Structure 1
């Protein structure tokens, strides 16, 4: 029996590769993207007997939720959502102006919520799968990644809550955390050049990153393969780091956070002694 997938950001990077793999596996696909020419390319790639519906859409547009709801209804339901659209914004936290910050939050966080609202009723009906694309930078931040990490951290935590909320319905949620891969991401990101005060931190990091050799960037097909695997699992992980650098950096961040928690535990307990228990 064929499954139906909805994939955002389907025209480039991980989204394009996942779309190609889903089509090759015989899935019907609702491919969502902003580039008409690339959506047409995907339509031509669809094997005979496989249905692809292309939706040219800016996910931050006011009508986006209704357009996606209508597409799912026309498709007759939905089994897998790959909530993948987004872009990078790098620069010193102080230097990211309000318009830049609002734009990246709209695309990387609020648009994800738009997609979820449009698709979750159908996914509950099918006891389907939600795959949320995050990043290794959803678990920690580097100099220059503050706003981008904030958006991916938001995706991580809203997805964790969503997994708990959907557990009784049978819908499974997985957050995929890719490391550094050779996609079009670098060509599409926005970089704010650092002021002199941030040259030793933000400037150095951006310079060092720009000088990484080609072999430092993994094969993006690895991420697409991982998505195909977790979407088929009966009990998929909540989080899946993909790439050796993602595993290493996330592990180092978690170890560092645990060490800090242990180091300052006496002060934490002293500060809260006698205080009423409960969340802040």
Structure 2
């Protein structure tokens, strides 16, 4: 039986690559993205009837209903790859309310809207939810504050969702890529720091812009990971992809555990006790 995949952000990066991989495997793909031309290219290279293209800004009013209708028309859903999002980097203080609202609208609220549209059909099929996060969903650094916050929100919502859906057979996996060669690195929005943040945010952005091409992994590895967890009987809740992601997340977790241990007596001892 042909499986049906709903993939958001299917016009570029991981989303486009996963759509191509799913189509090559014989799936029917509901491909969602803002660029009609890229969706048309995807359909042109696929077997007739295998692609349903939906030009859509998932933050738009009514987007949830559009997606729910598409799933209903397709006759069900087996895999959701909730991938759409964008990067915003700069000092926390300097990111204004409009930009902060925009990244949460796209990376968090629209992600939730897609889930609401897809979950009834996924419960019926005992399907798979693949939430695309980032190493920044587990670890922040100077300049990543708002982006990290948006991905951390997705991660914790997804963790709760996995518990809530456990009895239904629906499996949830959060994929956390490190640095990979996609259009993301060239399309992200950057707020340049004021002088006070030059030693931290400024240095990070300068160092990042000087990274050689070899610092960015082969994006096919992320596609391999996404397609693998989408069909595993017992997939992981979280999957870091890339040596840099594994290393950074491990370092962050060790640091947090060390800090927890160091201050445990302060938290659990008598009031006023010092370490």
Structure 1 and Structure 2 fold alike (TM over 0.5): yes
Cα displacement (A) at 1:187: 1.8
Q: Could you list the structure 1 runs, at least 4 aligned residues long, displaced by more than 6 angstroms after superposition.
A: none
The residue number in structure 2 matching 1:208 is 207
Which digits, 9 at most, give the CA deviation of each residue in 1:39-68, with x for residues without a partner? 0000011135x5110000000001101100
The residue number in structure 1 matching 2:190 is 191
Q: Distance in 1 between matches of 2:270 and 2:113?
A: 40
Distance 1:272 1:104, change over 3 A: farther
Distance 1:62 1:272, change over 3 A: farther
The residue number in structure 2 matching 1:72 is 71
Q: Distance in 2 between matches of 1:227 and 1:109?
A: 20
The residue number in structure 2 matching 1:157 is 156
Structure 2 residue 3 is the aligned partner of structure 1 residue 3: yes
Which digits, 9 at most, give the CA deviation of each residue in 1:100-139, with x for residues without a partner? 0000000000000000000000000000000000000000
Cα displacement (A) at 1:271: 5.8
Q: Distance in 1 between matches of 2:207 and 2:51?
A: 41
Q: Distance in 2 between matches of 1:83 and 1:110?
A: 12
Which digits, 9 at most, give the CA deviation of each residue in 1:199-220, with x for residues without a partner? 0000000000100010000011
Q: Distance in 1 between matches of 2:227 and 2:56?
A: 24
The residue number in structure 1 matching 2:255 is 256
The residue number in structure 2 matching 1:37 is 37
- How many residue pairs match? The answer is 272
Unmatched segments (≥5 aa) in structure 2 = none
**How does 1:97-108 map onto structure 2 within 5 Å?**
97-108=96-107
Q: Distance in 1 between matches of 2:206 and 2:140?
A: 17
Q: Distance in 2 between matches of 1:141 and 1:213?
A: 22
Asked if 2 retains the 8 angstrom alpha-carbon contact of 1:24 and 1:47, the reply is: no
Q: Distance in 2 between matches of 1:166 and 1:272?
A: 40
Unmatched segments (≥5 aa) in structure 1 = 274-280
Asked if 2 retains the 8 angstrom alpha-carbon contact of 1:178 and 1:246, the reply is: yes
Distance 1:271 1:251, change over 3 A: farther
Q: Residue 264 of structure 1: SS of its match in structure 2?
A: helix
Q: Distance in 1 between matches of 2:116 and 2:227?
A: 23
The residue number in structure 2 matching 1:129 is 128
**How does 1:173-188 map onto structure 2 within 5 Å?**
173-188=172-187
What CA RMSD, in Å, does the superposition of the two structures yield over aligned residues?
1.1
The residue number in structure 2 matching 1:15 is 15
**How does 1:229-244 map onto structure 2 within 5 Å?**
229-244=228-243
TM-score by length of 2: 0.97
